[in-house]
Amino acid sequence: MAATVLRRLIAPRCRSMQTACCADVHGLSPLHTKSSGQQQPPFESKFRTTVEALRETVNANESETLSNRKLFSRLRPDEKTIEKLDMLGLGNAKTGRFERKRWFRYDEPPVKLPQIVFFAGAQTAASFPHESLPEVGFVGRSNVGKSTLVNQLCGSVAARISERPGLTQQINFYTAGSDLHLVDMPGYGFAYAKDAATQSWVPLIESYIRQRKSLRRVMILLDARHGIKINDREFMALLDSTGTKYQIILTKCDLVHRIDLAKQHMLIAQQTARSQNCIPRIMMVSSRNRAGLNDLRKEILHICSLGQKYLALHKKKEAIAQAEYFEQLKTFNETSRAVRRRR
């Protein structure tokens, strides 16, 4: 009896989830199909899909014969990106049989942002708070990790998080000290919320972006496992049409192997290369491992012109820590090479 009731409760949700996923695969945005009834061209042609970007990496013959998975496995990621991932401890690094584990890691001096405090929530454009401090907005598909990242950046628990997509249902404004605002927005794409609510989120975010003069940059969060999806491309097209600067952050990097992460980074850089408003530095973070957060904090401080205040002492410490790390890396590489030669 209990099982039947449970199945009845879950079934409609699963169906709507299926439609959302299918729509994504076939290139139809659930947002567009729901709101307008007929299919519209959902995004501008300047954004390449992941498959298009993949197929551009090989010649026409191979592009026709090889599967997408094969093409992805054939990608040769940039060595420098992999080095950076290793340095920051990003990406899942299962060591192979002959790989040796490192006994050291980069001990980066932490950059600290003030704790955040919730000060306003807006469900309509009329309730946006007064513009007083520079703002950085966080957007992305539901469940991509926006609220978790806002918390982790400031070592706080002010933003509520959940495993179920659709918890954040309004634009939440947090103030970090008296220096900047971090703005956590509801997600687009599938969410466990009423249709009427989910459909109001994109227009709400759009009016926020169009109206807000204190908005310095929009951070678009992408799940590192999935890359750019159709809703993301639509959103980027919207930002391009309003001339808003945006930057991409790959989240949940702990769930992807470091080599695949480097490949994903490469593909996304290719896909967004033609956009004038996309800042070409793609950030990578893991809120779970707290990796990559320091770089993001520095970026935010620069965006809000707060570098002088927060990073004056940091540069010196950072230079010392980096020199130490590269020295250790050199010795490590030399001993690894010697071990390999002996084998």
Binding residues vs Mg ion (CB under 5 A): 146-147, 168
Binding partner of residue 288 among ligand GTP, Mg ion, none, CB cut-off 5 to 8 Å per kind? ligand GTP
Tell me the site size for ligand GTP, rule CB under 6 A: 24
Contact stretch for ligand GTP (CB under 6 A) within 92-100, 142-150, 297-305, 319-327: 142-150
Taking the complex as a whole, how short is the minimal distance between the CB of residue 174 and ligand GTP, in angstroms? 13
Q: Nearer to Mg ion by C-beta: 161 or 269?
A: 161
Tokens of 104: 């050291």
Tell me the one-letter amino acid at 316: K
d(CA 333, CA 11): 55
d(CA 185, CA 188): 9
Give the C-alpha distances (Å, rounded to integers) separating 51 from 22, 63, 231.
16, 10, 16
Residue 229 makes contact with ligand GTP by CB under 6 A: no
Enclosing H/E stretch for 146: helix 146-153
Among 50, 143, 156, 198, binds ligand GTP (CB under 6 A): 143
Do 149 and 283 meet the contact criterion of CB atoms below 8 Å apart?
Answer: no
Closest to 202 measured CA to CA, from 9, 32, 23 = 32
Taking the complex as a whole, how short is the minimal distance between the CB of residue 144 and ligand GTP, in angstroms? 4
Nearest residue to ligand GTP, scored by beta-carbon proximity: 187
Among 31, 167, 219, 284, binds ligand GTP (CB under 6 A): 167
Residue 148 makes contact with ligand GTP by CB under 6 A: yes
Pairing of strands 180-184, 278-284: unpaired
By CB under 6 A, name the binding residues for ligand GTP.
142-148, 161-163, 165-168, 186-187, 191, 251-252, 254-255, 286-288
